[in-house]
Amino acid sequence: MRHLLPILVLTGLTGHAQESAWSSDPAGWNRTTMGSACRQASKLKVVTQGRLTVLTDDRHDVGFKWSCKTAGNSRAEAEHKIQAARLRAQEHGGVCILVATTPDGPVVTSELVVTIPRTMRQVYMESRNGSLSGKYLKGEIEAVTAAGNVDMDDIDGNVIARTGGGCLTFSSVTGSIRGLSGGGCIKVGKVGKEAVLETAGGEILVEEAASWLRLSTAGNIHVGKVAESVFAHTSAGLIEVEQAGGVVTAETGGGTIQIGSAKGVRCESGGGTIRLKSVSGALRAATASGNIYATLAPGLMIENSFLATSRGDITVSVPSKMPVTVKALNESSTWLGRVVSDFPEIQIQPSQVGRNRRVLAQGSLNGGGPVLMLSATNGAIFLRRMK
């Protein structure tokens, strides 16, 4: 059965709603209406034009506080501007639907705070121009705004969030995250499952993730600790991953890539330096113009790997007891074209092919093992011994 609640106008509500109250400050006039609705609903859908916040507490219905503000020399003038504002509430099929509208243009600004029972497990929130905030919510949460920011804090469930240009902030989410911004930043404090984050131009920052990450932007990407694999793509910015429990795939059109530790890397930069620290597994790294620095993790093994730069140096630090087979080729035409090694087992053989000078270095360390191939065409190759 469909239950329609009375339309909320600025002259007050009948039923559960309380009387609206006026107040003023130097910026203008404000009318606030508080009330409740939807005592039997298990889901929530809220659509508004201004700022929206959804919270939970121990209540059994849906409470709201709606503030509309406008400039005016008198209360009568303000009432005339705000009179077209409406808040409609209805309950249908177990869904509590709140729709708040204000006059078009900057004449009236609004803020809606909705408080729901802790038992609600599905929330949809939408704003045309305002920012969205969700706190202490459970279940499936979806937040959509055309222009504002989205801020999700202490969410026990999964979150989908989209904004046309604002920032997305997820302080703590136990489930998965799907975040899309038309150009703002994306920040994640902690996510309990996988996260797919995409923005057209802002920075992406993830402090901690308990599953895999897929990140895409035109700006910088920073990742702290992630339990599984990371895929990160940026058209121009830098990529930094401090610690990954799986393979890191990092692609940038022109920035630096830095991996603190990972079980395998696949890195490609169109024009930046690549730094790999305490890495293991299969290593694939290439840059069109930049240096490559790789430190292999002591006590761990690499798999067959390949590091290459078209314009820059390659420096690899190898643990003294690691079994590995090295094959390095330097085809640089200048005096920089050399291979320098701390390991006497590696044989360095300069040669001349036509007008091109080449240096080939190869050898087996500690009996040999996975093949580490190095290639440089305009720089030097350095093999350093680690204790």
Question: Please, are residues 69 and 108 in contact by the beta-carbon 8 Å criterion?
Answer: yes
Tokens 């694999």 belong to residue = 229
The three-state secondary structure class of 211 is: coil
Q: What are phi and psi of 91, to 5 degrees?
A: -120, 125
Give dist(CA 307, CA 290) in Å, integer.
Answer: 12
- pLDDT (tens, 9 = 90+) of the chain, 387 residues, equals 333 333 333 333 333 455 678 888 888 888 898 999 998 899 999 999 999 999 999 999 999 999 988 887 788 887 777 877 889 999 999 999 999 998 776 678 889 999 999 999 999 999 988 999 999 999 999 999 999 999 999 999 999 999 999 999 999 999 999 999 999 999 999 999 999 999 999 999 999 999 999 999 999 999 999 999 999 999 999 999 999 999 999 999 999 999 999 999 999 999 999 999 999 999 999 999 999 999 998 888 999 999 999 999 999 999 999 999 999 999 887 767 799 999 999 999 987 665 667 899 999 999 999 999 999 999 999 999 998
Please give the distance of CA 260 from its chain centroid, rounded to a whole number. 19
Question: Please, are residues 385 and 338 in contact by the beta-carbon 8 Å criterion?
Answer: no
The model carries a pTM of 0.90
Which residues touch 192 (CB under 8 Å, ≥6 apart)? 173, 174, 175, 176, 210, 211
Give dist(CA 257, CA 268) in Å, integer.
Answer: 8
